[in-house]
Structure 1
Amino acid sequence: MIALKNVSISLGDFSLKDVSLEIPAGEFFTILGPTGTGKTVILELIAGLYQPDNGRILIDNKDAAQITPEKRGIGFVYQDYALFPHLNVYKNIAFGLQLRKLPKEEIQKAVGELTDMLGITHLCHRYPGTLSGGEQQRVSLARALVLKPKILLMDEPLSALDPNTKKLLCQELKRIHATYQCTVVNVTHDFNEASLLSTLVGIILDGQVRQVGSPDVVFTHPIDPKVTSFLGIAPKVTYA
């Protein structure tokens, strides 16, 4: 489980205010909100890239402040893929395992299994600059998953893709979640993506978590006028 308890942070003109949020283990949790509302900052707090000014972050009931980022069991997939341009696909995926000094045969086996699953084995000799957006995103996913993370953080991983590629990768992400049974925390502003992929959705507006629930509940029963306005659903009228 991931828990944010009364977490606040100020970053220049932006601030998160007293955010409390619980993400049960094994969920595909999507943080949904408009641009600039703090979605990515929540991911970066969970990953340990920022420390909160106030409040606590717990991972598996342990205070994350006592856990260095590399020991949190987290994989991070960025919107811009963040692949190493001077390394080919194989070396990009193998990079984290090589840092751990695993045997060469073990690295080859792990990379091979993932490239087979994601359909990118034929790309292993290629460099990121020669790949399409969808291919780069698959490589980015493989690089994160090869470390077998307990938690997979994704920052708008599908936003730059064309509709057909996005549809295919949505299917891949659902399969990956089912296969690896890790906790996924996904950030997006795409309602369809959130509805298709998520077991739980959290709405964040103006640096505050406004509502958390299943996609069916969140999209059909917004909790207050701000959520209703964001989702574009006309408020219900009650007649006396």
Structure 2
Amino acid sequence: MLVQLVRPLVRTQVQMLAQAQSASGKLVGMVSQWLGYLGIHAEVTQLQTTGNRIQVSLCVGKPEQCTEAEWQQILDNLNRDVDTTPAADTLTYAAMPPTQQGKVQRLLAAILHASGQDPLADWPTLRPRLVALGIEEPMLAGIHSALKVPMPVELLVEHLEPEVAAFVLAKAIHIALLDQQISQAEDTALKALLNAVDSGAGTRSEAAAEGLANREVVA
């Protein structure tokens, strides 16, 4: 997968950056290159250190995986929205209804089973590693229960809400990489989740395209 291909290259570049006498120019190029791996065209317009962090300002163009209709809709949304504070309605596990929480638990349990190990037998060792990934106690308890009745990912992703699929995918990638490798079963499960996310994006892009077309007709 992409992460396995890119990480060694990024590690090499980090080492080069640490050894460079003039690091600013190199880092500017690296940031653009890293985003380029994701198909995002970006230009660094400002770079400075702030305490123990690096502050970067970017000018971003249309990503390769973004249609013209989607990009125009994004620009329109940003132009209308003058509030730049982080959105407070980001989907969280605690805010999900019980039915969605159950889906999350079963899907993450399926990812753990896809590793080829016995997650129930390894639970005493596995649990603290999941806690380190930011998985809190209520979700952990649900995952542990779901491990006892495994279900195939292909069945679990049917009619899965794209927002829930995206939530699960972000955690599933980290879980799959706990052993520093992606098995074939894990790869299949991650792709199924990604397809569930994309299906929602496809529906939204069709709606955006229809909205643009209607606006052109009115104009």
Instruction: Tell me the TM-score normalized by structure 1.
Output: 0.28
**Which protein has greater RCO, CA pairs closer than 8 Å, 6+ apart?**
1
**Structure with greater strand percent:** 1
- If you compute each CA radius of gyration, which structure gives the higher value, 1 or 2? 2
**Structure with greater helix percent:** 2
Instruction: Tell me the TM-score normalized by structure 2.
Output: 0.30
